[in-house]
Amino acid sequence: MIHILVDSAADFSKKEIEEKGIHLVPLQVSFQEEQYLDGVNLERDEFYEKLVHGKAFPKTSQPSPQEFLDVFEEVKEKGDEIICILLSSALSGTYQSAQLARSMADYDKIYIVDSLSAVVAIRMLCDTALDMAEHGHSAQEIVEELEELKGKIQIFAAVDTLEYLAKGGRISKAAAAIGDMANLKPIITVSREGSVEVVGKGIGVNRTLSAIQKKIAAFQIDENYPVYSLFSYGEENCVKLEQKMEKNGCKVDSRKQIGPAIGTHIGPEAFGVCFVEKK
């Protein structure tokens, strides 16, 4: 049997985790002395309420190697295989924790995929892996497909400020200065190396929507995969983006909320899109 494991940056709900039969290793989110497990005992809206109205800035931390090892030992005991699809190694130490756990388990049927991305990009990789496993593909074949697919996934998102990314150390304070101008919304992406990059900006919501649409139009979208719209807290701008995309001939398949693992770093007013590029 091939098991699939993701971390909580994939933003699956508890119900989805159960229905898909996948393993979840959560990141930790802390507000000073208050500690939570992302996707386990911290609801998304509760998190954003704390982010917006609380005095403490949240911090995230990767799972310990032991949390991965517990799952790996269970799989090893059964003689099964497991594929781990994890948050970009450039954004978190989660991938390194899993690598360390694999060496501790000393079992050659553990496969670890660095998504070099986050949120629904991990979801796409996970769903692809589940589908391939169901159709009888080997773990090695699945991993090879995921390694190819992850290079085709595109994410573009507008954030209200780069303050959260700077506080979390995901971009430099100098780069964050671009977001200090009034009503300026930076547009970010996840680079091929898995880090966050600022790739544009818009003044006001309407120009920002147009700037994102221009980014989308530069690619041919692979219709074999879903197109996801994304939002962190408020959905209003996400809906406007969907409408603009559909006017330009691109139908959004599903809207997904960004959870605490990534919401900590992009803030409450983010919205964007994720799709697979056809090459």
| Residue where one domain finishes, among candidates 151, 168, 190 | 151
Residues 248 and 258: their CA atoms lie apart, in Å, by 25
- Whether 39 maps to a domain, the answer reads no
Amino acid (one-letter) located at 174: A
Indicate which CATH number applies to the domain containing 216. Answer: 3.30.1180.10
Query: To which residue do tokens 């900590």 refer?
Result: 264
pLDDT tens for each residue of 135-169: 999 999 999 999 999 999 999 999 987 777 766 55
Q: Which residue has the higher pLDDT, 3 or 58?
A: 3
Dihedral of CA atoms 88, 91, 94, 100 in degrees, nearest 10, equals 90
pLDDT tens for each residue of 228-277: 999 999 899 999 999 999 999 999 999 999 999 999 989 899 999 999 99
Average pLDDT over residues 188-196: 95
Amino acid (one-letter) located at 159: V
pLDDT confidence bin for 178, thresholds 50/70/90: low
- For the cut 80, the answer to whether the pLDDT of residue 181 exceeds it is no
Q: Considering its fold, how many domains does the chain have in total?
A: 2
Return the pLDDT at 161: 76
Mark whether 146 and 168 lie in a shared domain: no
Q: What percent of the chain has pLDDT over 70?
A: 94
Mark whether 69 and 166 lie in a shared domain: no
Number of Cβ atoms within 10 Å of the Cβ of 221 = 19
Return the pLDDT at 116: 98
pLDDT tens for each residue of 21-45: 999 999 999 999 899 999 899 889 9
What does pLDDT average to over the chain?
A: 93
| Residue where one domain finishes, among candidates 85, 117, 151 | 151
Q: Which residue has the higher pLDDT, 203 or 120?
A: 120
Return the pLDDT at 171: 56
Mark whether 137 and 212 lie in a shared domain: no
- Whether 57 maps to a domain, the answer reads no
Indicate which CATH number applies to the domain containing 10. Answer: 3.40.50.10440
Mark whether 179 and 217 lie in a shared domain: yes
Q: How far is CA 124 from CA 45, 49, 60, 249, 268, in A?
A: 23, 28, 23, 22, 23
Mark whether 137 and 76 lie in a shared domain: yes
- Whether 34 maps to a domain, the answer reads no
**CB distance 256 to 103 below 8 Å:** no
Mark whether 87 and 210 lie in a shared domain: no
Q: Domain limits at 147?
A: 2-26+63-151
Q: Which burial class, exposed, middle or buried, applies to 37 when counting CB atoms under 10 A from its CB (0-12, 13-18, 19+)?
A: middle
pLDDT confidence bin for 217, thresholds 50/70/90: very high
**Residue partners of 168: CB distance under 8 A and separation at least 6:** 59, 60, 264, 265
Return the pLDDT at 175: 55
In this prediction the pTM is 0.93
Average pLDDT over residues 61-83: 98
pLDDT confidence bin for 56, thresholds 50/70/90: confident
pLDDT tens for each residue of 74-118: 999 999 999 999 999 999 999 999 999 999 999 999 999 999 999
Mark whether 75 and 192 lie in a shared domain: no
Return the pLDDT at 179: 53
- Whether 58 maps to a domain, the answer reads no
Mark whether 165 and 106 lie in a shared domain: no
Tokens in use for 4?
């699939």
- Whether 32 maps to a domain, the answer reads no
